[in-house]
C-alpha cells in the first residue's frame, strides 16, 4: 500500500505541475519567437509544423524537479540524477537558445556539443566515483551474473551516458514519441528503483514519468509545443544516471530499445551509404522510414509506445 501511494503521488505531482506549466510557458515561448525550424529534406507533412514553439522541455524539467524536492531529501544518488537531468538539459537549452532565439541555424556545432557532453558525463562520474557511487562491476541482466571491467568501467559509462543522451535526442522527431516512450521507461525504472530500495530515485523517476505525461497534453499530435534539445538531452541524462545508480546499465538497451533502435538506424544508414552508396532505410532515424513507407505519424508513435511496453515487460525478467 505504501508503494502504491508513494509512486502514485510522485506521478500525480509531476503530471499536475507539468500540466499547469503548459498554459504559462507556451505563450512565453511564442512571445520570444522560439519557433522550431523544420528540415526541408524530411517528410513533407512536417513542414506544417514550422514555427511551433520549442524548448518545451522546461515544462517537465521544472515540474519533475519541483515535485521531487517536495517529496524527499536530497541524498547523494538523487543529487547525481538531478545533476545529470539539469546539466544535460542546460546543454540542450544553450543549443536551442542559439538556434531559435538568437536565430543561429547551426546552434552549437557538433564538436562543441560533443565536448560539452563528454565533459558533463566525465564530471558526473568523477563526482560519483569520489563518493563511492560507481559500481565496481556490471550486472548482467537475465544471466544474473556480474562483469568486472576494471579501469575500462569509467570510459564505458561515459560512452553509455553520452550515447543514451543522444539516443533520446534522435527519437524526438514525431509528436509525442520521445515523451510518451519516456513515460513508460521512466515508470519502469520507478518501480525497479523501489524494488531495489533506491527510494529517492524511485520518486524522481515517478515524477519524471508523470511530468512527461503532463507534457504530452501539449505535445501529442498535433503538437502545440516541442521539447527541443532542452528536453531530450535532459531526459537522456536522467535516464542514464538512474540506470548507472541502480547498476542496470546493460538493461537500458532492452527497456529503452526504441531509443537505441533509432540510433542504430542512423549508424547503419551512414555506414551503408559510405560503404556501398545505397541506403538501408528510406530515411533515418527509424521513425521517418515508417512515415515514408506510408504510416501516419500517430500510427508510428503508438506502435513505438506499444513496443516499449513489451520491452519493459521483458525487462522485468532481467532485474535482480
* Measured distance CA(185)–CA(250) in Å, rounded: 14
Has residue 20 been placed in a domain?
yes
The response to whether 172 counts as a known ligand-binding position is: no
Has residue 202 been placed in a domain?
yes
Has residue 298 been placed in a domain?
no
Residue 38's pLDDT is what?
Answer: 57
The response to whether 41 counts as a known ligand-binding position is: no
Q: How confident is the prediction along the chain (320 residues), in pLDDT tens digits per residue?
A: 555 678 889 999 999 999 999 999 999 998 887 666 655 555 655 555 677 889 999 999 999 999 999 988 889 999 999 999 999 999 999 999 998 888 787 789 999 999 999 999 999 999 999 999 999 899 999 998 999 988 899 999 999 999 999 999 999 989 999 999 999 999 999 999 999 999 999 999 999 999 999 999 999 999 999 999 999 999 999 999 999 999 999 999 999 999 999 999 999 999 998 989 899 989 999 999 999 999 999 999 999 999 999 999 999 999 98
Has residue 259 been placed in a domain?
no
Has residue 190 been placed in a domain?
yes
Has residue 306 been placed in a domain?
no
Has residue 262 been placed in a domain?
no
- Is the dihedral angle over the CA atoms 200, 202, 204, 206 positive or is it negative? negative
| Three-state SS letters, the chain | CHHHHHHHHHHHHHHHHHHHHHHHHHHHHHHCCCECCCCCCCCHHHHHHCCCECCCHHHHHHHHHHHHHHHCCCCHHHHHHHHHHHHHHHHHHHHHHHHHHCCCCCCCCHHHHHHHHHHHHHHHHHHHHHCCCCCCCEEECCCCEEECCHHHHHHHHHHHHHHHHHHHHHHCCCCCHHHHHHHHHHHHHHHHHHHCCCHHHHHHHHHHHHHHHHHHHHHCCCCCCCCHHHHHHHHHHHHHHHHHHCCCHHHHHHHCHHHHHHHHHHHHHHHHHHHHCCCCCCCCCHHHHHHHCCCCHHHHHHHHHHHHHHHHHHHHCCCC
Number of compact structural domains in the chain: 1
pTM assigned to the model: 0.94
Has residue 84 been placed in a domain?
yes
Domain that holds residue 196: 2-39+46-246
Amino acid at each position: 500500500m505504501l508503494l502504491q501511494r508513494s509512486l502514485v503521488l510522485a506521478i500525480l505531482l509531476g503530471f499536475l505541475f507539468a500540466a499547469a506549466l503548459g498554459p504559462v510557458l507556451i505563450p512565453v515561448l511564442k512571445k520570444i519567437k522560439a519557433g522550431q525550424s523544420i528540415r526541408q529534406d524530411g517528410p513533407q507533412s512536417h513542414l506544417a509544423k514550422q514555427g511551433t514553439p520549442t524548448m518545451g522541455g522546461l515544462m517537465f524539467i521544472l515540474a519533475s524537479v519541483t515535485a521531487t524536492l517536495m517529496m524527499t531529501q536530497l541524498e547523494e544518488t538523487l543529487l547525481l540524477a538531478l545533476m545529470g537531468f539539469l546539466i544535460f538539459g542546460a546543454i540542450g537549452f544553450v543549443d536551442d537558445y542559439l538556434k531559435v532565439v538568437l536565430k543561429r541555424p547551426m546552434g552549437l556545432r557538433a564538436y562543441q556539443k560533443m565536448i560539452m557532453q563528454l565533459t558533463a558525463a566525465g564530471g558526473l562520474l568523477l563526482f560519483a566515483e569520489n563518493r563511492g557511487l560507481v559500481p565496481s562491476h556490471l550486472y548482467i541482466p537475465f544471466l544474473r551474473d556480474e562483469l568486472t571491467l576494471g579501469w575500462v568501467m569509467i570510459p564505458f559509462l561515459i560512452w553509455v551516458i553520452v550515447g543514451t543522451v543522444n539516443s533520446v535526442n534522435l527519437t524526438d522527431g514525431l509528436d509525442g514519441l520521445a515523451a510518451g516512450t519516456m513515460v513508460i521507461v521512466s515508470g519502469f525504472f520507478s518501480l525497479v528503483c523501489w524494488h531495489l530500495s533506491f527510494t529517492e530515485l524511485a520518486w524522481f523517476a515517478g515524477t519524471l514519468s508523470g511530468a512527461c505525461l503532463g507534457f504530452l497534453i501539449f505535445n501529442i499530435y498535433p503538437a502545440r509545443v516541442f521539447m527541443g534539445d532542452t528536453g531530450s538531452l535532459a531526459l537522456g541524462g536522467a535516464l542514464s544516471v538512474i540506470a548507472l545508480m541502480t547498476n542496470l546499465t546493460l538493461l537500458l538497451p532492452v527497456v529503452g530499445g526504441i531509443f537505441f533502435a533509432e540510433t542504430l538506424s542512423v549508424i547503419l544508414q551512414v555506414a551503408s551509404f559510405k560503404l556501398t552508396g545505397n541506403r538501408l532505410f528510406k530515411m533515418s532515424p527509424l521513425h521517418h522510414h515508417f512515415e515514408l513507407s506510408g504510416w501516419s505519424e500517430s500510427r508510428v508513435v503508438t506502435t513505438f509506445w506499444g513496443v516499449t511496453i513489451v520491452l519493459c515487460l521483458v525487462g522485468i525478467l532481467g532485474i535482480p
